[in-house]
Amino acid sequence: MPILVVGSVAFDSIQTPSGSVDRCLGGAATHFSLAASFFTDVRVIAVVGEDFTAEHEGVFAARNIDISGIEHARGRSFHWTGAYHDNLNEAQTLQTDLNVFANFQPKIPTAYADSEYLFLANIDPRLQHEVRRQMPRVRMVCGDTMNYWITGHAENLAHVLRDLDTLLINDGEAKLLAGETNLVTAAERILQMGPKTLVIKHGEHGATAFFSEKSFAGKVRNRFFRAPALPLSTVVDPTGAGDSFAGGFFGYLASQKNLTPAVFKRAMFYGGVMGSFAVERFGTERLQQLTRTEINQRFELFRELSHLDAD
Amino acid sequence: MPILVVGSVAFDSIQTPSGSVDRCLGGAATHFSLAASFFTDVRVIAVVGEDFTAEHEGVFAARNIDISGIEHARGRSFHWTGAYHDNLNEAQTLQTDLNVFANFQPKIPTAYADSEYLFLANIDPRLQHEVRRQMPRVRMVCGDTMNYWITGHAENLAHVLRDLDTLLINDGEAKLLAGETNLVTAAERILQMGPKTLVIKHGEHGATAFFSEKSFAGKVRNRFFRAPALPLSTVVDPTGAGDSFAGGFFGYLASQKNLTPAVFKRAMFYGGVMGSFAVERFGTERLQQLTRTEINQRFELFRELSHLDAD
């Protein structure tokens, strides 16, 4: 089933210990949709400026991603400039030029209205809530957020959280959102805010799912599930790793007939797989060149490096 | 097969956000041997002072641990005073009183000479090397170390590393030892220093084994294996978690006839299991009260929370 994603399509200028790139295609919706496109059809709602050309459209087209919902506005696209130093888990934002994104008002095209899976990428929670409200018959909604919205827009974010099936955030965001230093206690508090299930991403240490009594109608045996990450000797560019995780995770979920605990766990592994590919090159380069065979092989590698029966 | 462990038997005075204890039984060899005793026979070489009484002997005796190799010296036992704050992964040492430990010269009793498994707990690498030298027919040697020896006694430590089957250290120690910020690169460098296999402990994020071409005579399919940790809402006292991990890990290994990749991976899980119990109470309290049934149940929980086929 197709996924509808709303979020940013942007240009990124990035410095990492491996090098730098200037104005490469990026944005949460871009990374998410490329990753998800290996599993299911994807539809994108975003806004771009006049600097978004046929070449950039081609990146989506090559993966059969429907970008008829991308609005073209006068001016320039969202542009993020950032740097990573020795700690590749932490980006330093050098400049944020919202440009056309400052006045983004997501509109859902008629052709997208039957989407049963909705991903609310990291944007203003007022916009996330607005999109959610316009999709009353959606079957599953996943969302992301960040420190900026957690600290400055808590009330708007609360509306979004109440309606989420799965929230995907990282360790720091979870602790900040809950106001707790222990991750398990933080997860318990966040699950009380609304999401049926919480997935916390630990960067190089994988990800943990925290289930509630609302997950899978209570049919999950344990409260946790841990998915590994691939130990990597070189991380060229961590930008978009979290969105690629979300794309692999939600793309696989949307491709499956039923949402069972077993499907959810495999989705966590596919999330890790897509994140591990994303960081191998700058921007979207690796996901553009990826094949389904490589994904399947790496999924098997993830299984082998975490399962007792693999030898 | 019995394990011989050489290390500290000490008293710990500990403050954590959960409370505090004064002079409870501790030390690396204590935590290690209690954890390992659920899997195999354990023999201890250490030194204690006159404050080590029949009550403390009873803790070892209750788990059938052979402490005939513990030397009783005049004076007081090693005493560590430390505190943990919000970040329970990091202890702040408030005071270290080496006492009788300052002149520790490990001697191997004749009754211990046939031990085929040797654990070199975190002590002066000169003593580790000396003990190793006296046990030429040992079948498997595992060791631990810490920042103090890595930075100040690198040359002595190098002698120990050359002869190790498995080195067990944590993230920070691995990066310091290798002089690398990337964990995979650090692991590769450390494997070149001698250990056949390296296990890096990530605290709440579990542990990763890094294999070399010398691990299991090259019969391991992948270079990595990741074992989970149990997400815990309350960590009462992290002291001894790493030694309990080592005890569960090496205790299980020594209890098995053959060292295969499958056995090694299960040993990693048992390490995590014993570490997760150790932190539930202050000092050795939880390990003293533990049963093999509880261990088996938690092992199964570790499997369920990391394996795709568990539901």
Burial of B208 (0-12, 13-18, 19+ CB in 10 A): buried
Average pLDDT in chain A: 95
| DSSP H or E run through A305 | none
A310 touches chain B (CB under 8 A): yes
Interface touch A305/B231, C-beta < 8 Å: no
Question: Which among A247, A230, A272 has a CA at the least distance from the CA of A33?
Answer: A247
Which tens digits make up the pLDDT trace of A42-64? 999 999 999 999 999 999 999 99
Is the confidence at residue A27, as pLDDT, over 70? yes
Cβ-defined contact of B308 to A205 (cutoff 8 Å): no
pLDDT over 80 (residue A160): yes
Q: Are B281 and B236 in contact (CB under 8 A)?
A: yes
CB contact under 8 A, A306 and B306: yes
Alpha-carbon distance B117 to B126, whole Å? 19
**Measured distance CA(A273)–CA(B175) in Å, rounded:** 25
Query: Which residues, 6 or more positions from A92, have their beta carbon under 8 angstroms from its beta carbon?
Result: A82, A83, A84, A85
> Terminus-to-terminus CA distance in chain A, angstroms?
35
Residue A89 confidence (pLDDT) = 81
* Closest in A184, A185, A308 to B266, CB measured: A308
How buried is residue A111: exposed, middle or buried, by Cβ count under 10 Å (0-12/13-18/19+)? Answer: exposed
DSSP B178-227: HT-SSHHHHHHHHHHTS-SEEEEE-GGG-EEEEE-TTGGGG--SSSEEEE
Q: Is A303 on the interface with B (CB under 8 A)?
A: yes
SS3 assignment, position B74: coil
ipTM confidence score = 0.93
Query: Cβ-count burial of A15 within 10 angstroms (0-12 exposed, 13-18 middle, 19+ buried)?
Result: middle
Coil/strand/helix, residue A146: coil
pLDDT tens for A216-246 read: 877 788 899 999 999 999 999 999 999 999 9
Do A268 and A227 touch, CB atoms closer than 8 A?
Answer: yes
Comparing CA positions, the residue from B143, B157, B190 lying closest to residue B171 is B190
Closest to A308 in 3D by CA, of B310, B216, B171, B167:
B310
Instruction: Please state, in angstroms and rounded to a whole number, the distance separating the CA atoms of residues A12 and A81.
Output: 6
CB of A258 less than 8 A from some CB of B = no
Q: What is the chain B residue with the closest CA to A171?
A: B205
Q: Does B185 touch chain A (CB under 8 A)?
A: yes
Is A78 domain-assigned? Answer: yes
- Angle between helix B154-162 and helix B125-133 axes, rounded to 10 deg: 30
Does the beta-carbon distance from A262 to B309 stay under 8 Å? yes
Question: What is chain A's alpha carbon radius of gyration, rounded to the nearest angstrom?
Answer: 18
CATH number for A126: 3.40.1190.20
Domain count, chain A: 1
Nearest CA in chain B to A225: B305
Interchain pair B262, A308: CB under 8 A: yes
Q: How many Cβ atoms are within 10 Å of B134's Cβ, its own excluded?
A: 14
Among candidates B182, B183, B221 on the partner chain, residue whose Cβ is nearest the Cβ of A304? B221
On chain B, the residues whose CB falls within 8 A of the CB of A188 are: 233
Instruction: Note whether A302 and A230 are within 8 A (CB).
Output: yes
Q: Give pLDDT tens digits for A262-310.
A: 999 999 999 999 999 999 999 999 999 999 999 999 999 999 999 998 7
CB-based burial of residue A204 (10 Å sphere; 0-12 exposed, 13-18 middle, 19+ buried)? Answer: buried
If you average pLDDT over residues A113-128, what whole number do you get? 96
Q: Which of A86, A184, A235 is facing B231, going by the closest CB pair?
A: A184
Any chain A CB within 8 A of the CB of B304? yes
Inter-chain residue contact A231 with B224, CB threshold 8 Å: yes
Among A221, A214, A217, CA closest to B310 = A221
Q: B272-304: buried (b, 16+ CB within 10 Å) or exposed (e) per residue?
A: bbbbbbbbbbbbbbbbeebeeeebeebbebbbe
Domain that holds residue B221: 3-304
Contact A181/B at CB under 8 A: yes
- pTM of the predicted model, to two decimals? 0.95
Sheet containing strand A10-16, edge to edge, reads: A19-26, A10-16, A79-84, A91-97
Q: Rounded to whole angstroms, what are the CA distances from B132 to B27, B111, B149, B174?
A: 20, 16, 17, 22
Rounded distance between C-alpha atoms, residue B209 and residue B184, angstroms? 11
| Amino acid (1-letter code) at residue A286 | R
β-partners of residue B33 are none
pLDDT (average), residues A141-166 = 96
- The answer to whether the Cβ–Cβ distance between A233 and B182 falls below 8 Å is yes
Over residues B205-259, the pLDDT tens digits come to 999 999 999 998 777 888 999 999 999 999 999 999 999 999 999 999 999 999 9
Residue B309 lies in a domain: no
Instruction: Return the H-helix or E-strand segment holding B279.
Output: none
Chain B residues with beta carbon closer than 8 angstroms to that of A230: 224
Beta carbons of B183 and A202 less than 8 Å apart? no
**B231 reaches A (C-beta below 8 A):** yes
Query: Closest chain A residue to B234 measured between Cα atoms?
Result: A182
| Sequential DSSP letters for A194-244 | S-SEEEEE-GGG-EEEEE-TTGGGG--SSSEEEE-----S--S--TTHHHH
User: Lowest-pLDDT range, A63-67, A75-79, A84-88?
Assistant: A84-88
How much is the pLDDT for A311?
60
Q: How many CB atoms lie within 10 A of CB B183?
A: 21
- For chain B, say whether A148 makes contact (Cβ under 8 Å): no
Q: How confident is the prediction along chain B (311 residues), in pLDDT tens digits per residue?
A: 999 999 999 999 999 999 999 999 999 999 999 999 999 999 999 999 999 999 999 999 999 999 999 999 999 999 999 999 888 888 899 999 999 999 999 999 999 999 999 999 999 999 999 999 999 889 999 999 999 999 999 999 999 999 999 999 999 999 999 999 999 999 999 999 999 999 999 999 999 999 999 998 777 888 999 999 999 999 999 999 999 999 999 999 999 999 999 999 999 999 999 999 999 999 999 999 999 999 999 999 999 999 998 75
Strand order of the β-sheet with B91-97 is B19-26, B10-16, B79-84, B91-97
DSSP B128-145: HHHHHHT-TT-SEEEE--
Residue of B226, B233, B235, B303 for testing the chain A interface, max A β-carbons within 10 Å:
B226
The type of residue at A101 is F
- How far apart CA A257 and CA A263 sit, in angstroms, is 9
Mean pLDDT across chain B: 95
Q: Is residue B201 assigned to a domain?
A: yes
| B307 near A CB under 8 A | yes
Q: How many Cα atoms within 13 Å fall on the side-chain side of residue B50?
A: 2
A262 in B contact zone (CB under 8 Å): yes
pLDDT attached to residue A296 = 98
Sheet of B207-211, strand order: B70-72, B42-48, B3-6, B117-120, B140-143, B166-170, B197-201, B207-211, B224-227
Asked if residue B52 is part of any domain, the answer here is: yes
Is position A311 within any domain? no
pLDDT at position B219 is 78
Residue A64 neighbours by CB distance under 10 Å: 9
Binned at pLDDT 50, 70 and 90, residue A204 comes out as: very high
**DSSP result, A42-105:** EEEEEEE-TT--HHHHHHHHTTT-B-TTEEE-SS---EEEEEE-S-TT-EEEEEEE-GGGGG--
